[in-house]
């Protein structure tokens, strides 16, 4: 027995018998509402996927920007990247993926702000470019 005193599964049977007692117009309205609810649930799921996928891509871009700057001997400023573009494109195997572009700032001395750009295809880094900067050696490089 279910919580309402009906046998388990009786809800579906009860609903079917209620639908059978309705006019054709009302049955079509129920079907339309069911379809609309299903569409809205799928839309919500797609938005949730996009949100979490975007957060993951942003984290990968930030970590890559930090690693590239560290390897180049420059400061990765503000510990962040900013999204600048989003498009649908094909990767090298022909599969459609999101192409995201980000910008970040770095400094070779701590006194300047230079711009770097990073492009991702899906969750893979496609390219990283950085504005030209001075390569410092000796005591002047100790601002890091």
Mean pLDDT rounded to a whole number for the chain:
84
Q: What percent of the chain has pLDDT over 70?
A: 76
Chain segment 5-22, per-residue pLDDT in tens: 555 555 555 555 555 666
Whether the pTM exceeds 0.95: the reply is: no
Name the least confident of 26-30, 46-50, 77-81: 26-30
How confident is residue 51, by pLDDT bands cut at 50, 70 and 90?
very high
Query: Is 22 within 8 Å of 11 (Cβ atoms)?
Result: no
Q: Which residue has the higher pLDDT, 133 or 128?
A: 128
Chain segment 56-92, per-residue pLDDT in tens: 999 999 999 999 999 999 999 999 999 999 999 998 8
How confident is residue 1, by pLDDT bands cut at 50, 70 and 90?
low
Euclidean distance between CA atoms 96 and 5, whole angstroms: 52
pLDDT of residue 22: 63
pLDDT of residue 134: 83
Query: Is 127 within 8 Å of 134 (Cβ atoms)?
Result: no
Paired sense of beta strands 75-76 and 96-107, if any: antiparallel
Residue spans of the domains in the chain: they are 10-41, 54-143
Instruction: Determine the 3-state secondary structure of 5 from DSSP.
Output: coil
Contacts for 88 with CB less than 8 Å, ≥ 6 apart: 96, 97, 98, 99
Euclidean distance between CA atoms 65 and 106, whole angstroms: 9
How confident is residue 144, by pLDDT bands cut at 50, 70 and 90?
very low
């Amino acid at each position: 027995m279910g919580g309402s005193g009906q046998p388990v599964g009786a809800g579906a049977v009860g609903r079917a018998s209620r639908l059978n007692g309705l006019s054709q117009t009302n049955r079509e309205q129920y079907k339309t509402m069911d379809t609309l609810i299903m569409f809205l649930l799928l839309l919500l799921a797609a938005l949730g996927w996009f949100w979490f996928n975007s957060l993951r891509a942003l984290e990968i871009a930030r970590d890559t920007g930090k690693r590239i700057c560290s390897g180049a001997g420059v400061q990765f400023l503000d510990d962040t990247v900013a999204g600048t573009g989003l498009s649908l494109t094909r990767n090298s195997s022909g599969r459609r993926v999101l192409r995201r572009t980000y910008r970040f700032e770095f400094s070779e001395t701590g006194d300047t702000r230079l711009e770097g750009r990073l492009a991702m295809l899906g969750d893979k880094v496609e390219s990283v470019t950085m504005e030209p900067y001075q390569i410092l050696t000796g005591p002047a490089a100790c601002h890091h």
